[in-house]
Amino acid sequence: MRRIASVIVDVPTLQTNRPFDYIIPVDLIEHIEVGMRVVVPFGNRHIQGFIVDFKEQSDVKNLKEIIEPMDVTPVLNKELLHLGDFLSEKTLCFKIAAYQVMLPPALKAKYDKYLTLVQQEKSNELPDGLKKLFFYQNRVNWKDAEKFAPTSYLYRKAREGLFEVIYEVKSQGNKKKVLYYVPTTENVTEFQTKKDQLPKPLSPKQEEIYQFFVNEFKPHTVKQVEEQISNARAPLNALVDRGLLKKEEYEQYRDPYVNREFERTQPLPLTDDQQKAISPILQAIEENQDGVFLLNGVTGSGKTEVYLQSIQEVLNKGKEAIVLVPEISLTPQMVNRFKSRFGDLVAVLHSGLSLGEKYDEWRKIQRKEVKVVVGARSAIFAPFENLGIIIIDEEHENSYKQEDVPRYHARDVAIERSKIHNCPVVLGSATPSLESFARAQKGVYHLLTMDKRMNQVNLPTVEIVDMREELKSGNRSMFSEQLFEKMQDRIAKKEQIVLMLNRRGYSAFVMCRDCGLVVKCPNCDISLTYHKVTDQLKCHYCGFETITPKVCPECNSNHIRYFGTGTQKVEEELGKVLPEARVIRMDVDTTSRKGSHEKLLAAFGEGKADILLGTQMIAKGLDFPNITLVGVLSADSSLHIPDFRSSEKTFQLLTQVSGRAGRHKLPGEVVIQTYTPEHYSVQFAKNHDYLQFYQYEMMMRKRGQYPPFYYLTLIHINHENVQYVYSVAEKIASFLRSQLSPTTHILGPAASPIVKIKNKYRYQVLIKYKQDPNLPTALKKIIHHFHRDQIKHGLTISVDMDPYSLM
DNA sequence: AGCACGCCGACT
DNA sequence: GTCGGCGTGCTC
């Protein structure tokens, strides 16, 4: 008999990070399973928890009873529970945090529970009261249903498929709300009457806006109004005061592109390269072998077709597939390729979906209505029970590492799952991370190489232009002579151009040209970001906002200027030197609105522009046949970021963006402008020589004792008081030195590159180790030791095993 | 996280 | 004598 349940409660603290036992009430015994969420009494309140185990006996005497289950079927199966433990172990997070991250966020939020009648034909079997409820509505509030039928009946019937239990998110705190101005009347006629009855006539500006609403009698945002009438905010509010309009907040919904028709595609004949690459994968699928394949294929070599045909094989075996793609390339173009091949068997999970939509996709997986999931990082937790393959596209992308708790890497989770399911993992990239390629070299991963493009197209030729020489020869424009000539040529030939301004790590900022002051956040040690729309300066770390100063706060000079991401400036310049060119600009300013990213790309794809100008966001995934020239305006800026991966990132970026040129019939050319042409990242990118880059960079990493030669762990110590932070950091470092192996290097304490965020000083200790069995224990000890200070003094200590950014 | 318990100073 | 400050410890 299952009498007692062990529950991980939703209280994320050190002391509660263990199971608590509860008695299962007799009438719930047959409805409760491991992996379900339950409501339990904890102290004097009711909280959520996950059942992780059943037992006969408990050491605790006065057990309380479970109050009610929250699910009809478990939300975490055995495997996911195991993965949760794996995560909490590997990343040192609380179990509850690990479980939560695996579920769609809708299950975490506050919710209302409803019942819908799935099998309409059986409505006669329902108890009278329920029958009546379902007669008037197709969804019934759970609490109402309980008035007419025993809870256990509802659960049983839900499990049998008569009902479905639906969660609807109640608190939409994390959904985006937008303020609308809404006419206060039912129709236009009343609207006009109401205006005529006003004691005083409207001001001209108010009248103008009023007429705008008469013409389009529906809710509008300030933004919408201001597209036609500038400075509308104040008069809009005046109209609110005068009773003609009211303010209402609506939820922002996204245009769903879901119900679109997809033209079915058939498997394409594979090239020799593809054939060679796919056969060991197919073999692993066939033989239920786990293992990691690193598919190193140059841009345009047809990795996606290899994925598609591997998945087909998996589906033929009746199994399921997970495909991870970086969020940024999760565009309709990408999704279409999977939908077109596998149709309704595909679920898509990405950040653009609302909570409800994400939940719906997740339910499709859970109910086994789909067999393939395409999604960003968290899709790795898709609750499939019969996985046949896991694919991680653009394996080197850092978005696979979650930067807040739990700080997991999707690749590690994928490998853990592949061992459980005995299925292969395929890591695909034209420029694999050094870590992965090194493992492939050592034979830990199987290396599969595709070094030729499909359609017998060659990789584009790359020309490096030394901008110092350009300057010397008197060319002060941002386009070198070579690039400019080629641009003219392409425009004449009606071919398309991609121009990338490499500004990784930069955003718009305000600087005084006289004294060089950059306006910084008063709470954080970081430059404020300029927002053109509102003419404000914002801090990306703490949300501080201020009006852009007109004179320098330091020297009172009025030569205070706004330095953009640079794309606007390039656009202006293009307008001067190539006035006939049609330009689409893609940067944070033009793509901040949801869906605008896709729209701009679609317009470019339809040939509505000659030049696509953008920041590194354009480097990935575009595949348009007419692009024959790629220009990189400044290759250097990502080289000088203080990060041991900056060379790798630069090489990847240059290679990726070069890969946009000449993917189909027309040959491609690339021009890279740089002030450091001799840098190896630039030189190896010129020759598309990943291998050489790899060897050189490995040497650098070895010298610097960085991954993949050493593992890293980064500890952040934050507090308002500098001295206190430093003393804690100092204690941590010396404790570690006493506990860890002598071959382990402990660096610091040192101030973090961003020394202050939200008025808290940040210090860090970096651990480099090859293997150190004592590390997890030592880290846990540190966390325990400073636990008291953490709650008492607002000290925070965070540990990132395998950090991606050292900021 | 929340809340009770408990031990010290200031008050009707 | 009592009220309330918050430091400490527990929650099945």
List the single range of A51-60, A388-397, A585-594 with lowest mean pLDDT. A585-594
Chain B nucleotides with an atom closer than 7 Å to a protein C-beta: 1-4
- How distant, in Å, are the alpha carbons of A478, A493, A581, A583, A610 from that of A489? 18, 6, 12, 16, 12
Place of tokens 């575009």: A622
Amino acid in position A142: W
Which of these, A427, A581, A419, lies nearest to A499 by C-alpha position?
Answer: A581
**What DSSP line would sit under A580-637, residue for residue?**
T--EEEESHHHH-STTHHHHHHHHHHTTS-SEEEESGGGSSS---TTEEEEEES-SSG
Distance A376 CA to B2 C1' (A): 36
According to the model, what pLDDT value does residue A565 have?
62
Distance A720 CA to B9 C1' (A): 30
Amino acid in position A155: Y
- Sheet of strand A4-9, all strands in order from the earlier edge strand to the far edge: A64-65, A20-23, A4-9, A45-55, A37-42, A68-69
Q: Is A539 annotated among the ligand-binding residues? A: yes
Per-residue pLDDT reduced to its tens digit, A291-301: 999 999 988 88
* Three-class SS state of A788: helix
A517 strand C contact, CB < 7 Å: no
A62 strand B contact, CB < 7 Å: no
- How distant, in Å, are the alpha carbons of A287, A310, A381, A446 from that of A284? 5, 10, 22, 11
Per-residue pLDDT reduced to its tens digit, A440-485: 999 999 999 998 888 777 888 899 999 888 888 888 888 899 999 9
Report which of residues A539 and A349 the model is more confident about.
A349
Helix axis angle, A690-704 to A434-441, nearest 10° = 100
Per-residue pLDDT reduced to its tens digit, A240-253: 888 888 887 765 44
- For A411, other C-beta atoms within 10 Å of its C-beta total 22
A13 strand C contact, CB < 7 Å: yes
A792 strand C contact, CB < 7 Å: yes
Cα A118 from Cα A162, distance rounded (Å): 5
How confident is residue A522, by pLDDT bands cut at 50, 70 and 90? confident
A13 strand B contact, CB < 7 Å: yes
Distance A42 CA to B7 C1' (A): 26
The pTM score is 0.81
A45 strand B contact, CB < 7 Å: yes
Per-residue pLDDT reduced to its tens digit, A224-271: 888 788 888 888 888 888 888 888 776 544 333 444 566 778 888 899
Closest residue to B1 by CA to C1' distance? Answer: A11
Distance A46 CA to B2 C1' (A): 11
Distance A791 CA to C5 C1' (A): 18
Which of these, A175, A191, A176, lies nearest to A246 by C-alpha position?
Answer: A191
Per-residue pLDDT reduced to its tens digit, A707-762: 999 999 999 999 888 888 898 899 999 999 999 999 999 997 988 888 888 888 99
Report which of residues A258 and A390 the model is more confident about.
A390
CA atoms within 13 A on the CB side of A308: 22
A11 strand B contact, CB < 7 Å: yes
